[in-house]
């Protein structure tokens, strides 16, 4: 396969798209996932004349001398640019998308502006911006697929959280990163050094934070991504962020009080820690745990853990109904939403008697 590098302007991409010789998303490309904030910052980078990563294009030339093009890598950059100028429809919207730059920082000179509101000089400069383009000169899709399989074969695939850290910049991910910096997680082996290297500690903080705010949720990458998207477009804080931070801190402080030696116990592994943490957060929303109850609740958690262990070793072991319910929800699909909710319900049934309602201020 022959390849070469060149430069092409925004208007070149617009013209090729409008004449139907440019395919933005070939079958092997993923669906668009960029948020409004990412699109706005790309446009601002172009208006500022800053460099943007190169675009990979498959170029095919027919026997009649006609050229066609397909975006192999960079479809979200090109799609965003075309949507901004009004030449391409957002597949999630029914109308043509000429989005405003409403997600830029307040001090940006282009905040809230649409393409039509740019000056004549800014429009010319935008249309004339040059992308670095690497052409793959072939009409054979299998060759294109093969070259990218070879390129990716020897790379370590990015973990979902590594992709999120490269994609999102909003207040939710910043809070998850801040929470992950607490030495408590590594000191108690709730997250391992290997997990920290691959950013799965930040992913776990995200799950705990989501659980504190919304109760038990599924732990799949898709579900976590949905919450990241939901909170991405807020500039400084997402709704109820301060309340969520306070409840998270109170829950962690409560865990440390009742289980100061959590490492090595059932509650120190990630699956059971998630259940304990989210269950405590649920109770602490409307109730309090006095210092006098620390030993009592610790004793109940120790006893409950022993029951769970016995039942896991022997399915006929004589244990409480709550332990049976917990074991059912931990043996298979432990990170599914229903399993997590069932474990929380069982655990709350064991520890809720130690909590007292908070006094309401009249």
Q: How does pLDDT run across 44-98, given as a tens digit for each residue?
A: 999 999 999 889 898 888 889 888 998 888 888 999 999 999 887 654 443 446 8
Residue 206: closest CA among 183, 186, 188, 231 = 231
Residue 265: closest CA among 318, 315, 304 = 304
Distance CA 217, CA 229 (A): 16
Question: What is the mean pLDDT of the segment spanning 270-297?
Answer: 96
Expressed as residue numbers, the domain containing 143 is 2-155
Give me the number of domains the chain comprises: 2
Q: How does pLDDT run across 233-253, given as a tens digit for each residue?
A: 888 899 999 999 999 999 999
Residues 226, 352, single domain; the answer is yes
Residue after which a domain boundary falls, among 138, 155, 172? 155
Residues 192, 88, single domain; the answer is no
Question: 59: helix, coil or strand?
Answer: strand
Encoded tokens for 235? 């500039």
Residues 142, 95, single domain; the answer is yes
337 in any annotated domain: yes
State the pLDDT at residue 151: 47
Which band of pLDDT confidence, cut at 50, 70 and 90, is reported for residue 348? very high
362 in any annotated domain: no
Distance CA 289, CA 304 (A): 19
Q: What is the DSSP letter of 6?
A: E
Question: Helices (H) and strands (E) in the chain — how many of each?
Answer: 16, 7
Residue after which a domain boundary falls, among 155, 180, 215? 155
95 in any annotated domain: yes
State the pLDDT at residue 94: 38
Residues 135, 90, single domain; the answer is yes
237 Cβ contact list (under 8 Å, min separation 6): 171
Q: How does pLDDT run across 12-51, given as a tens digit for each residue?
A: 999 999 999 998 866 555 555 677 888 999 999 999 999 9
Residues 151, 188, single domain; the answer is no
State the pLDDT at residue 38: 87
Reported as type and span, the H/E element at residue 14 is helix 10-18
Residues 45, 146, single domain; the answer is yes
């Amino acid at each position: 396969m022959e390849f070469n590098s060149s430069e092409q302007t925004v208007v070149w991409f617009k013209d090729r798209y409008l004449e139907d010789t440019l395919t933005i998303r070939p079958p092997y490309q993923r669906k668009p996932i960029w948020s409004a904030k990412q699109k706005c910052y790309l446009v601002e980078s172009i208006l500022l004349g800053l460099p943007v990563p190169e675009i990979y294009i498959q170029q095919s030339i027919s026997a009649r001398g006609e050229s066609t093009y397909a975006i192999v890598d960079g479809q979200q950059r090109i799609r965003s640019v075309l949507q901004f100028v009004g030449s391409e429809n957002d597949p999630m919207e029914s109308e043509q998308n000429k989005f405003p730059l409403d997600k830029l920082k307040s001090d940006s000179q282009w905040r809230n502006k649409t393409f039509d509101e740019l000056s004549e000089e800014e429009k010319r400069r935008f249309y004339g911006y040059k992308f670095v383009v690497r052409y793959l000169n072939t009409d054979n899709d299998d060759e294109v697929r093969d070259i990218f399989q070879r390129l990716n074969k020897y790379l370590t695939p990015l973990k979902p959280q590594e992709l999120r850290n490269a994609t999102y910049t909003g207040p939710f991910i910043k809070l998850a990163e801040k929470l992950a910096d607490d030495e408590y997680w590594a000191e108690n082996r709730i997250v391992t050094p290997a997990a920290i290297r691959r950013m799965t500690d930040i992913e776990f903080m995200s799950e705990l934070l989501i659980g504190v705010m919304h109760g038990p949720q599924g732990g799949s990458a898709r579900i976590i991504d949905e919450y990241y998207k939901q909170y991405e477009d807020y500039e400084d804080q997402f709704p109820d962020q301060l309340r969520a931070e306070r409840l998270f801190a109170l829950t962690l402080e409560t865990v440390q009080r009742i289980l100061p030696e959590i490492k090595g116990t059932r509650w120190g592994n990630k699956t059971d820690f998630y259940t304990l943490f989210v269950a405590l957060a649920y109770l602490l929303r409307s109730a309090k745990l006095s210092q006098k109850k620390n030993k009592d609740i610790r004793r109940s958690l120790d006893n409950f853990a022993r029951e769970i262990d016995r039942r896991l070793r022997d399915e006929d072991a004589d244990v409480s109904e709550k332990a049976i319910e917990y074991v059912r929800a931990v043996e298979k699909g432990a990170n599914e939403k229903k399993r997590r909710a069932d474990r929380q319900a069982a655990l709350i049934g064991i520890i809720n008697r130690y909590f007292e309602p908070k006094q309401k201020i009249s």
